[in-house]
Amino acid sequence: MHSGWRLITELGLGVLRAHGADAGRFLQGQLSNDTATVRHGQLQLSGYHTPQGRAIALLRLTRLADDLLAILPLELVPVVVARLSRFVLRAKVRITDDSAQWQILGLRGEPPPLPGTALSLPYGSSRHLLLVPQLEPAALQRADTGTREDWVASDIAEGLPQVYLPSSEAFVAQMLNLDLLGGIALDKGCYTGQEIIARAHYRGQVKRRMQRFVSERPCALGPADSGTLGDGRSFKVVASVPVAEGRCEFLAVAPAAPGSEEPEAAAASAQTRIAAQQLPLPYALPFAQP
C-alpha cells in the first residue's frame, strides 16, 4: 500500500440516481436514514435493508438539484436499482444506474479547484469523494496516486463499513455500527427493516459488532469470509487489506469478548482459526450485556 497517496482513480464505486418529484419521499420509505436532511455538497450514510433488517447495501447520499445520488460499490448498483424499482408503483420517481456518467475519485486532503460540474463530498475524517463527469483538471492529474486498497485501509482505520456483493444481507444494521456512525434515524417514519432495527436498539439485543483486527500470521480474507479468532470468538469479515509480511488487517463482526456468544455460532465458524490482535476504533462500542 502507498502511504503517501493523495488521489485514487479506481475505487470500484458506482452511482445510483433517484429522479423525480417523489425521489426523497420514496427513498424515505426505503432507507434507514432521514433523506429529508440530505444536502448538496454533503454525504449521508444510509442503509438499504431487507424486512429482516439485514443490509443489502450501504449508500452514501447527496443531493443534485431535485435528484438524489447514492454512491455504493459498483457491483451492487444493478442489484439495488432493480430492487428499489419494484416498489416505485405510482410514485413520481425513477431509479437509474448513472455510474457511466461519473468518474468517482478518492482524494485525501483539501480538493483543488474543480470544474463547475464536479461534486466534492467530504468523506471520513480527512478524505473526499469527487464526482467528475470527465477527469479534466491538471491539478488532479499531477496528484500522487494510490490504489483501491489504500482507500479501504483508510476505511478500516476509521471503522467505516462497506457492504459488497458477497456480504449483501449478511449483517443487521447495528452489527455494522450504523447507529454509531449516524446511518440510522430512529425518529423517522417507517422504512423497510425498521421494526427489526428499532427493536435491536431499544431492547439492547446487539451482541455482535464490527471491530478492527490485524492477523498475527500471513492470511488472506475477503468480505463475508468467516472463521474463529484465536480467543475463540467467531467472526465474519466486513472489509480487509493486506499489510506487511503477508498479514491482513480487517474489519469483522464479532462478539464483545470470548464466551459471549451462543456455542452454535462459534462452532459454525470453527473451520478457519486466525490468531489476531484487536486494534482500536475511533469510537466506542456499546455492547449489549449478556
- Is position 13 within any domain? yes
C-alpha cell at 163: 457492504
C-alpha cell at 285: 462500542
Beta carbons of 1 and 149 less than 8 angstroms apart? yes
Low-confidence ranges of the chain (pLDDT < 50): 138, 264, 266, 269, 289-290
pLDDT at 157: 97
- Is position 92 within any domain? yes
Question: How many structural domains compose the chain?
Answer: 2
Examine the domain organization and report whether 136 and 238 are in the same domain: no
Among 141, 158, 175, give the residue marking a domain's end: 158
Examine the domain organization and report whether 142 and 267 are in the same domain: no
Name the nearest CA neighbour of 221 among 174, 161, 166: 166
pLDDT at 269: 47
pLDDT at 290: 45
Structural domain containing residue 47: 7-158
pLDDT at 259: 65
pLDDT at 267: 52
In whole angstroms, what is the distance from residue 267 CA to residue 70 CA? 38
- Is position 109 within any domain? yes
pLDDT at 190: 92
- Is the pTM for the entire model greater than 0.75? yes
pLDDT at 288: 56
- Is position 172 within any domain? no
Question: Which residues is 252 bridged to in the sheet?
Answer: 211, 237
Q: Which residue stretches of the chain are H helix? A: 23-28, 77-85, 138-141, 148-158, 194-203, 263-268
